[in-house]
Amino acid sequence: MGPQSGRERCGPSPTEAERRPVPVNKVVASFDEAVSDIFDGAVLLIGGFGGPGDWPCYLIAAVARKGVRDLIVAANSSGWGLELLEQVREQMSRIMPVPPDWYDLGLLVERGQLRKGILSFPAAPRTVLRPFERALLEGKVEVELVPQGTLAERIRAARAGIAAFYTPTGAGTFVAEGKEVREFDGRPYVLERALRGDFSLIRAHKADRYGNLVYRGSSRTFNATMAGASRITIAEVDEVVEVGELDPECVVTPGVYVDRVVVRPREPRPWHEPM
């Protein structure tokens, strides 16, 4: 038998419906579904700079409800938790309103779900003890203190596929203990390793179903940095819009870095309520 003309086919030809591309839709129905595969001992990168508008509050609440333990969490701040929230709300009232659904990393600390924090600001100023600081003094958690810029760069390096980098920050201090130190142009530099997570939990303002993200205000800080730096990135957003509605010039995180998108409720909900 002579060679067949055209493309050889194995089995029946695909139908018109089968030839159509499957539309990408990264939006999941609930926060509990979004975090359903987070496991005990997972490494979580949790975005936010510290204020109420930039923590992925409902994703944190869903992790609290799931009850996973022995978590290793990298974040800028250790959070306030629920116990100190009223005090913080009163203190911050002169600066900004604090919403009733402010759930931060402190919630996971209060519930005993953390084993270690990789943090830039684990403690609060003055005499206030945050939940993480109390747990540390009681020997219930470990801490790795990382300068803020170094923390951001370790996470960015993980997303970029860079294994490690040298930085002058921390040279000659306890931060450099146990790490390689080299001299460049007469100045000591510390070798810091990339910090990659199992899950990045981040907060953005708007998304489309492809996972492209737009941020608002200070939420752009560590949230944008952590997107794509984990095996799975989950974005909590205020609104999902149609594809094409986001101005490309305003998209900070391309959808290629985002695996799941979940929309915040329109009205505040208690952290323990499934959603």
Whole-model pTM: value is: 0.88
- CA atoms of 196 and 86, how far apart (whole Å): 34
Cα(196)–Cα(173) distance, integer angstroms: 24
Q: What angle do CA 172, 176, 182 make, to 5 degrees?
A: 75
pLDDT of residue 8: 44
Segments of the chain assigned E as strands: 43-46, 71-77, 114-121, 142-145, 164-167, 181-184, 187-193, 197-203, 206-208, 213-214, 230-237, 239-241, 260-263
pLDDT at 6: 45
Dihedrals φ, ψ of 153, to 5°? -75, -35
CB atoms within 10 A of CB 265: 11
CB distance 143 to 123 below 8 Å = no
May I ask the CATH class of domain 24-263?
Answer: alpha beta
CA distances for 64 relative to 67, 147, 258, 266, angstroms = 5, 27, 22, 21
What was the pLDDT predicted at 13?
58
Residues of the chain with pLDDT under 70: 1-23
Q: CB within 8 A of 69, min separation 6: which ones?
A: 40, 41, 112, 113, 115
